[in-house]
Every structure is written in structure tokens, then in C-alpha cells.
Structure 1
Amino acid sequence: MSILRGFLILVLFFLLGEALRLVFLVPISGGILGLMMLTLYFMATGGVGNAVASASQALISVLILLIMPGLTEIFFISGKFTGQWLAVSVSLLVGTFLSVVTTLVLLNVLARKLPSRSNTHE
């Protein structure tokens, strides 16, 4: 039941982000807006609950299924990229590289700010 509750919380924030995007005509993905609101919610409540953590772990195992439709779409709209494949390929590679580097740097900074768990058991 905990995973279901966590999944519903994640879906709720996604839907709230989509609603904000549609109401205010913001040129940002509803999923990104929802994640920003979810982050603020976690900051206000003091952390991620067990329900959301359980649901997130379950979703990570099927992450490739969430990414695949966007990658597949490129083949259906390939006619629009005639003569621009080098620019598209470079932008995809650079964008992927920058997102991975940004994530690693952010995780390292945040991991340094967390208290060490080894000291809590002494």
C-alpha cells in the first residue's frame, strides 16, 4: 500500500505541474514544474517519506520505458532534420553529457552536506 500511496503523490504533483503549465501558459514541461513543486514540498516537510521513496525505487527500475518513446519519435520526424543530422546529433550528445555532469556535481555537493551515517551509530 505504501508504494501505491507514493505513486499517487508523484502523479498528483505531475498533474499539478501540468495544470500550472496549461493555466499560466508556461513554456516549461508540466513534469518539470511538478518536480519543482515536489522538491519544495519535500523541503517544507523535512524530507522524502517512505511511500515516495518506495515508489521512486520501483519507477527507477523501468526508467528506460519512460525514455524510449521520446527517442523513438526522432525516427518518425526524421524528414524535418534533412541536412541537420550533425547539429541534432551533437546537441543530443552534448545535452546528455551536460545533464549527466550536472547531476553528478549536484549529487556530490548534496552528499557532502548530509551528516555522516557512520557517526550516528557510535
Structure 2
Amino acid sequence: MSVMRGFLWLLIFLLLGQTTVELLALPMPSGVIGMLLMALWFVYRGGMNADIVHVSQPLIAMLALLVMPGVVEIFFVAGRYASQGVSIIAALVVGTLLSVLSSLLLMRRFMPRLAIDEQPDE
């Protein structure tokens, strides 16, 4: 039953993201907006929902498969954007660095701290 509740929560946030994009005419994917809303909800609650955590673990393991269609599309449209190569590379580098930084900050915020009581023997 936890899996069904987890998928229901993911669907609710996807629909909230879609509704937000449509109402505000935002030029962003509804999935991204839904994820931001879910992150804000986690911050408001002070922790993550166990059902969402349970259902998201297998999805994270398949993340490369979920990203693959967008990567393949690049090969078909690369010629259209050849003159903007420097801008695209700069956006990729800055975006990657910001993504890693935000992941680090969120992980430090929400991961439990481990107490170090004993020093390991060397």
C-alpha cells in the first residue's frame, strides 16, 4: 500500500506543477515545478514523506533511462544550435555546478548526522 500512496503523492505534485505552469504561463516543464513544490513541502514539514522515499528509490536507480530520450534528441537538433556552442557549454557547466551545490546543501540539511563516538583503529 505504501507504493500506491507514494505514486499518488508523486502524481499529485506532478499535477500541481502542471496546474501552476498553465495558470502562470511559466516557460518551465511541469515536472520541474512539481519537484520544486514537493521540495518546498518537505522543507515545510521538516522531513520527507516515507511513502515517497519508498517509491522513489527504484526510480532513482532508473534515472539514466528517464533522461535518455532527451539526450538522444540532441543528436537530431544539434545543427540548429551550432552557432551557440559557447553559450550552451557555459550554461551546462554553470547548471551542473549549481545542481551539485544545491544537492550538497539539501543533503547536508536533510541527512541525519552520524555521531562519531570512537576513533577507528589504524
Could you tell me how far apart the structure 2 residues matched to 1:111 and 1:42 are?
9
Quick check: 1:62 aligned with 2:88?
A: no
Structure 1 residue runs of 5 or longer lacking an equivalent are none
* Residue in 2 that maps onto 1:100: 100
What code does the residue aligned with 1:48 have?
M
RMSD between aligned residues: 2.6
For 1:6, the equivalent position in structure 2 comes to 6
Per-residue CA deviations over 1:66-99 (Å, capped at 9, x if unaligned) read 2212222211111211333343234323322332
User: Which secondary structure does the structure 1 equivalent of 2:94 belong to?
Assistant: helix
Q: In structure 2, give the amino acid aligned to 1:37.
A: L
Secondary structure of the 1:104 match is: helix
Could you say what secondary structure the match of 1:47 adopts?
A: coil
Q: Which runs of 5+ in 2 are unaligned?
A: 117-122
Matches within 5 A, 1:1-122: 1-108=1-108, 110=109, 114=112, 116=113, 118=115
- TM-score, normalised to structure 2's length? 0.75
CA deviation vs aligned residue, 1:21-58 (integer Å, no higher than 9, x gap): 11221233312221232233334444322211111111
1:18/1:47 Cα in 2 relative to 1: closer, same or farther (>3 Å)?
A: same
- Tell which deviates more after alignment, 60-69 or 29-38: 29-38
